[in-house]
Structure formats: C-alpha cells, structure tokens
Amino acid sequence: MSLTNSQHDAIMRIYGNIQTRNRHIHDERVEEVYAACPRIPEIENEIIDLSARSAPIIIHGDEGAMEEYRRELARLNNEHERLLAVSGFPKDYLAPIYDCPVCHDTGLADGRQCACFKKKVVDMFYMRSNLKNIVASENFGTFSFDWYSKTDIDKTTGLSSYDNMKNVMSICRQFINDFDKGFHNLLIYGAPGVGKTFLSNCIAKELLDLSHSVIYLTAVELFDAFGNFNDEDDDEGTAVEYILDCDLLIIDDLGTELSNSFTNSKLFYCINERMLKRRATIISTNLSLGELSSVYSERLMSRITSTYTILKVFGKDIRLQKRSRQLNTGR
C-alpha cells in the first residue's frame, strides 16, 4: 500500500493538468475582459509601472512618497474594480483560479502535504482496490431484502432475519446521515455470506459520492500495511497515515488474519488512533462477540464495545441461495 515513485508522479501529473486547465480558463477570461474594456489592461500596466517607480522610495522609507504611492495604487485598483463591475464581471474574475485554495494546486501547504494530496492518494488506493467497480454493483440501489426470511427467527433477539436486516439497514442509513454531525463506528458480525461486506460497500458508496475519503482493507491487508511500516523511511506520505486519517476506514473479515501479539497491538493502535482523531471505522467479522473476546485483548475489546454500534446480521448464506436459484431456473 506504500506510495511508489510512479504513483507519486501520477498524482503530480494530475496537479499539472489542473494547473494547465485553470491557466487556460484564466487566459480566456483575460481576453474576454480586455475585449470588453480596453481601459483595464492600461490600468494593469500603470500599476506595474507605479510599483517599479516606487520601489526605491519604499526601500529608502520616504513616508510622504509612500503615502502618495498607496493613494495612487488604491485609485487604480478602485478604477479597475469599478470597470469590471460596469462591464458585468465579478471583482475577482481575473484572480488566479485554483481547485485547492490552500496549496494552489501544488500538493504542498506550509511544507507539508496538503489535504487535497492525501485525498488523491486515497482515491488512488480506492481505484487500485477495485472498490469503485464493486460499489457499482453493491450499493443500496441493488440491495434486496428478498434474501432474508420473515419466518427464520433468531432465539436471542426474537426477530426474523428480515426484520433484523430492516433494523440494521436503518442504522446504516442513519450512520451516513449523521456522518458529518458526530463520531460513530460500526461493528458488523455474523456468519459468512449474510451480507456484511455488501452493507459496508453500500455505506462506502454513499460516502464516496459525498466526497469523503474511504479506504477498504481486509484484515490481512491492514496488518500487511502495518508490517511494512518503517518509522525511519516513512513520513506523512505513507499508507499508514492514510489509514489513520481517512474519513472512513473499512476493515473487512477481521479474524481471518493470523492472530498474534503484533496483530493485537496494531489493531488496538489503529482503532485507538482513529478514535482520538474522531475518524469513523467499520469492522466486519465472521466471529461472534465471544470469539472476538477470546482472540483479541480485553483492552481492545473494551475500546470496540464502548465506541462501536454493534450489529448482528443473520440468515441463510446468500451466495448459496443465489446458486440454488440459478440451478432451479437454469440460469
């Protein structure tokens, strides 16, 4: 998951394209304004000449001359702004154009990677993980309650798998609606094939469409990323930072990794850091709550149970249901 040189170059090419596009738009605006009001370029040349003539005065600190310079500059700027308005243009119409006003489309702000750069990196990981293609088919629009029985009752909750999924779906939609209003996490658990990953993808698509940064990783991929982390070589441009900083982190299939002290400590670190940063996390697992408690540390489970909404999903394996339906229909 580390950012390679070629990936970094690809992102910088994106910035180059943005700069070229915006310069082109700006040049077209300049031509449009100059054609509509020939006095405006004259004013701009007068401002340049005034600044050049006043430079020695400013350096020597002649207060009287500096005051005269400021008055003349203000007069020219006011005339410039007035002529733009009279010609039907906003006063900032000739200002430089930037997609990101913080870094001016360079990727750097105050010597550090800008938030827009990090968003582009997340988007690159998103594209590489094939999440874009997955959420195109796994989203709320394609979700079906038909796979959940109204007669299959869970003894613990007293709910059918259908009614339970209705409740779960409502909570997932509320998670999306409240995403920008507060800090929330989800733990989705249940047997394989009951729709846990599908639900995570539904949420991912909604938040991606709202321009939030989302990283999807299996548990194995998450621990591989931490295993490759090197404090000496990696800085803010590392995959680990994006994992800790993205708006939503989805950890799928927790429990499929080889559990040991390393995975326990890194999972706690990841969950705790994201909690401190108030970054949302969704965890899905095939393990029951009891099995999770036996695999992961008490400290880790305390964090999860105290800061996560826990959702149980149950029912018949949807993959098996689809296969059976295909066999019965001959498709």
Number of Cβ atoms within 10 Å of the Cβ of 85: 12
- pLDDT for the residue numbered 232: 47
- Domain spans, the chain: 5-108, 129-329
Number of Cβ atoms within 10 Å of the Cβ of 329: 7
Residue range 258-262: mean pLDDT, rounded: 89
Provide, rounded to the nearest whole percent, the portion of the chain with pLDDT above 90.
66
Decide which of 120 and 232 is more confident.
120
Of 170, 198, 188, 165, the residue nearest 308 (C-alpha): 188
Cβ atoms 152, 161 nearer than 8 A:
yes
**Three-state secondary structure call for residue 91:** coil
How is domain 129-329 classified at the architecture level of CATH? 3-Layer(aba) Sandwich (3.40)
Q: CB under 8 Å to 203, separation ≥6 — which residues?
A: 172, 175, 176, 186, 248, 250, 282
91-112 confidence digits (pLDDT tens): 999 999 999 999 999 999 998 8
User: What backbone phi and psi angles, to 5 degrees, belong to 280?
Assistant: -75, 145
161-178 confidence digits (pLDDT tens): 999 999 999 999 999 999
Considering only 32-36, 58-62, 172-176, which range has the smallest mean pLDDT? 58-62
In angstroms, the Cα distances linking 270 to 19, 235, 246, 267 are: 36, 17, 12, 5
- pLDDT for the residue numbered 236: 39
Type of residue found at 65:
A
Q: Where are the alpha helices (DSSP H) in the chain?
A: 5-36, 39-60, 63-86, 115-128, 131-137, 161-177, 196-209, 219-227, 239-245, 261-276, 289-295, 298-307, 318-329
270-324 confidence digits (pLDDT tens): 999 999 999 999 999 999 999 999 999 999 999 999 999 999 999 999 999 998 8
- pLDDT for the residue numbered 230: 58
> Which class for 314: exposed (0-12), middle (13-18), buried (19 or more C-beta within 10 A)?
buried
Cβ atoms 283, 308 nearer than 8 A:
yes
185-244 confidence digits (pLDDT tens): 999 999 999 999 999 999 999 998 887 888 889 999 999 888 876 554 444 346 788 789
* pLDDT tier at 331, thresholds 50, 70, 90: low
